[in-house]
């Protein structure tokens, strides 16, 4: 075919493409205006601005355009889910410098699957029987100060939690029923250090699991715990990694990840079957992690500080109000936010009341936490989950509420 003919044919193709409708905009019944569907409006759901931290009840975090693009572009073909989980997992393991990885439906699912894997290994009968295995209940060791809401994901498998305090007690508590040890990374107090915890687990040949669900930034944490020697690590996909809200990462030792997969969908029966992850979210989780690892984290941090500076300068126009940058010590939610303080004699409203007014106003601004004590009030305004266009919206609303009471 000559070059001219090729060009002619390409021209024809693009014309027939538009005739088929793919590039013709949707036209409303009433006229020629393109119709943009607003599902929030259609269903009467209130859109919320999150000036706090990632919270599941506020739908986690917002996925980045590159993640949404991957979710859309992978929706048009079928895939074998075993193959997809294997290939996505292999890539994630390579990215995180560990033996194996998988995508779960969140960190809570990863705890169920990790515990299940520790109980069953690759034994099909055990996989079929949990949470009702015959014999003594499997035991999972946790530090007393590490008990938390999410450890119900452990007992879901039929295992019971044995509480210990200090390395000696931990060492003594491990017996033939012990299947796993679980470390809650963001616990306020630990009587056993990460290193001791791993060493004692290894001494008894019991897999150690660490829940670091909300513990990026810093990005280094995604590599830290497998390096210390934990056999299994979980992070949420839908927190600051900004993947799909119902996705998470489980990674570590290859035999345990294989056992976790056997306890998961697409197998029809096991304990993890109701915790299915769809195809688009698996691709999406991979894309989100890749984007997170490649992000300029210094620049992102600076952007957050700039947002704080902007809000501070607007709110401080109210006499008596002072703002300062405050960074959570971590390891969960270790990023900066704006702490506002004022004299309640001058600005007659408490932090709690400001937070309430922000939440009940339009648009609803949630996640701000406020306190009031001894005539001094404070309000923590989060910036990391704001869309760029929401920064001044939040600043002006906070300013207006304070000013009205000054």
Contact residues: ligand PLP, CB under 6 A: 56, 106-108, 150, 186, 211, 213-214, 236, 238, 248, 332
- The per-residue b/e assignment along 75-99, b for 16 or more CB within 10 angstroms, e otherwise, is eeeeeebeebbeebbeebbebbebe
CB of 234 to ligand PLP, least distance (A): 7
- Yes or no: say if 60 and 366 are a contact pair by the CB < 8 Å rule: no
Compute the radius of gyration of the chain from its Cα atoms: 25
Closer CB to ligand PLP, residue 159 or residue 401? 159
CB of 184 to ligand PLP, least distance (A): 6
| 197 CB-contact burial (10 Å; exposed 0-12 / middle 13-18 / buried 19+) | buried
CB of 200 to ligand PLP, least distance (A): 22
Closer CB to ligand PLP, residue 16 or residue 152? 152
Write the CA distances from 3 to 8, 9, 16, 34, integer angstroms: 9, 10, 20, 38
- Provide the sign of the torsion angle of the four alpha carbons 143, 191, 175, 104, taken in this order: positive
Closer CB to ligand PLP, residue 235 or residue 342? 235
CB of 237 to ligand PLP, least distance (A): 7
Closer CB to ligand PLP, residue 186 or residue 228? 186
CB of 81 to ligand PLP, least distance (A): 20
Residue 350: phi, psi to the nearest 5?
-90, 160
Closer CB to ligand PLP, residue 58 or residue 81? 58
C-alpha closest to that of 138 among 180, 171, 169: 180
CB of 106 to ligand PLP, least distance (A): 3
Q: How far apart are CA 346 and CA 319, in angstroms?
A: 8
Closer CB to ligand PLP, residue 314 or residue 332? 332
């Amino acid at each position: 075919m000559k070059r001219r003919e090729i060009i002619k044919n390409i021209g024809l193709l693009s014309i027939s493409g538009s005739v088929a409708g793919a590039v013709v905009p949707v036209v409303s019944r009433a006229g020629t205006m393109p119709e943009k569907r607003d599902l929030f409006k259609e269903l009467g759901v209130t859109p919320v601005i999150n000036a706090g931290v990632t919270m599941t009840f506020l739908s986690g975090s917002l996925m980045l355009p590159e993640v949404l693009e991957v979710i859309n572009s992978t929706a048009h073909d079928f895939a074998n889910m075993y193959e997809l989980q294997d290939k996505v997992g292999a890539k994630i393991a390579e990215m995180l410098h560990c033996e194996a990885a998988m995508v779960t439906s969140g960190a809570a699912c990863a705890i169920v699957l990790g515990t299940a894997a520790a109980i069953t290994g690759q034994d099909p009968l055990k996989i079929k029987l949990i949470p009702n295995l015959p014999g003594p209940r499997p035991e999972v060791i946790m530090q007393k100060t590490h008990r938390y809401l999410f450890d119900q994901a452990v007992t879901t498998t039929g295992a019971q939690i044995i509480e210990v305090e200090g390395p000696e007690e931990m060492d003594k508590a491990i017996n033939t029923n012990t299947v796993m040890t679980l470390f809650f990374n963001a616990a306020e107090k630990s009587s056993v250090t990460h290193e001791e915890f791993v060493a004692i687990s290894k001494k008894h040949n019991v897999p150690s699991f660490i829940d670091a669900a909300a513990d990026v930034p810093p990005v280094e944490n995604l590599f830290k715990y497998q390096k210390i020697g934990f056999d299994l690590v979980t992070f949420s996909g839908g927190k600051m990694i900004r993947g799909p809200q119902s996705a998470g990462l489980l990674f570590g030792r290859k035999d345990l990840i294989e056992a976790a997969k056997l306890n998961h969908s697409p197998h029809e029966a096991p304990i993890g079957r109701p915790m299915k992850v769809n195809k688009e979210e698996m691709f999406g989780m991979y894309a989100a992690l890749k984007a997170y690892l490649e992000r300029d984290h210094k620049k992102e941090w600076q952007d957050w500080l700039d947002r704080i500076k902007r809000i501070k300068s607007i709110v401080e126009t109210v006499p008596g109000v002072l703002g300062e940058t405050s960074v959570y010590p971590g390891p969960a939610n270790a990023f900066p936010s704006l702490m506002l303080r004022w004299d309640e004699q001058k600005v007659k409203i408490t932090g709690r009341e400001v937070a309430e007014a922000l939440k009940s106003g339009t648009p609803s601004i949630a996640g701000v936490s406020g306190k009031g004590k001894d005539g001094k009030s404070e309000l923590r305004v989060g910036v990391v989950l704001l869309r760029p266009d929401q920064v001044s919206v939040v600043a002006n609303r906070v300013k207006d509420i304070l000013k009205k009471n000054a």
